[in-house]
């Protein structure tokens, strides 16, 4: 398949209230997803908001959130993804979950760059491995929020066709959000989906949304929105492949080695 339909879900997140959030998403998707889609992307920590209250807000890999994602994936015949707080053994992770009930796939990526300014590194364990998802003929690489500021980590050595960044990116830093997303798409010659939240969280931080999809030339596919919405676009892999062949810049990229 050369085309991929991608849906970005932007909304408020009820503070530290998993059930309320999952109920909201169920109703919101039912009422607003007008056409079939291949992927539904939710924001970072979509069941809780960006909280350090890990003991109260964590879930498990066989918990309520995963079961809900399986049910939604099966009902809408689509993959669904976003990040949540997951506990494994004694550690907590800000974990991106990719659920495809049709293929019976649950894939994970743990956030590499923890946001020290909010002491995320005091409560969560960082990941150290990338994830490359192969889905319907596309290669997809997920990242989480603060990862966006680190181009070496996001360097497209895997030849991903689509990068996904799920976030709780504050309104006061929206200039960075709106600048870094197209920059990553351009330098990595791929489509890039950035999914943010809106509203005010439980500690008073405001979020402006600005979720968007960018093509490999850094062009936005939507107008930025500041309200709850589902926006869907069709991505064309043939056009991406033609562009990469015409402008084979990635072959000249610098090579990096990570020490950890």
Among the listed residues 12, 16, 57, 111, the single catalytic one is: 111
> Which is the catalytic residue, given 57, 81, 145, 190?
145
Strand partners, 166: 144, 195
Q: Is residue 111 among the annotated active site residues?
A: yes
Please calculate the CA angle 243-160-146 and round it to the nearest 5 degrees. 115
Tokens of 80: 């669904």
Written as six digits, the tokens of 180 are: 């870094």
Catalytic residue among 12, 16, 44, 120: 44
Within the chain, how many helices (H) and strands (E) appear? 7, 13
Phi-psi bin for 68: left (phi > 0), alpha (psi -120 to 50), beta? alpha
How much of the chain is in helix, strand and coil states, percent to nearest 5? Answer: 30, 30, 40
Q: Is 145 in the active site? A: yes
Say how many C-beta atoms besides its own lie within 10 A of residue 243's C-beta: 16
Q: Which residues are known to be catalytic?
A: 44, 111, 145
């Amino acid at each position: 398949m050369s085309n991929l339909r991608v849906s970005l879900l932007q909304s408020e997140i009820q503070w530290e209230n998993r059930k309320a959030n999952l109920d909201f998403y169920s109703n919101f998707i039912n009422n607003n997803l007008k056409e079939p889609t291949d992927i539904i992307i939710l924001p970072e920590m979509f069941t809780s908001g960006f909280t350090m209250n890990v003991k109260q807000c964590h879930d498990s890999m066989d918990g309520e959130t995963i079961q809900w994602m399986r049910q939604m994936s099966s009902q809408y015949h689509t993959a669904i993804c976003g990040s949540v707080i997951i506990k494994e053994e004694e550690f907590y992770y800000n974990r991106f979950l990719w659920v495809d009930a049709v293929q019976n796939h649950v894939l994970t990526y743990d956030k590499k760059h923890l946001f020290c300014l909010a002491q995320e590194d005091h409560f969560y364990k960082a990941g150290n491995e990338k994830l490359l998802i192969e889905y319907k003929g596309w290669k997809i690489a997920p990242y989480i929020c603060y990862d966006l500021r680190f181009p070496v980590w996001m360097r497209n050595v895997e030849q991903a066709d689509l990068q996904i960044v799920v976030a709780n990116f504050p309104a006061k830093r929206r200039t960075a959000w709106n600048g870094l997303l197209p920059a990553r798409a351009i330098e990595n010659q791929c489509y890039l989906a950035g999914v943010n939240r809106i509203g005010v969280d439980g500690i008073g931080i405001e979020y402006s949304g600005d979720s968007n999809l960018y093509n490999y030339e850094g062009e936005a596919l939507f107008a930025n929105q500041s309200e709850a919405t589902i926006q869907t676009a069709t991505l064309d892999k043939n056009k991406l492949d033609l562009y990469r062949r015409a402008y084979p810049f990635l072959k000249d990229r610098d090579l990096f080695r990570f020490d950890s």
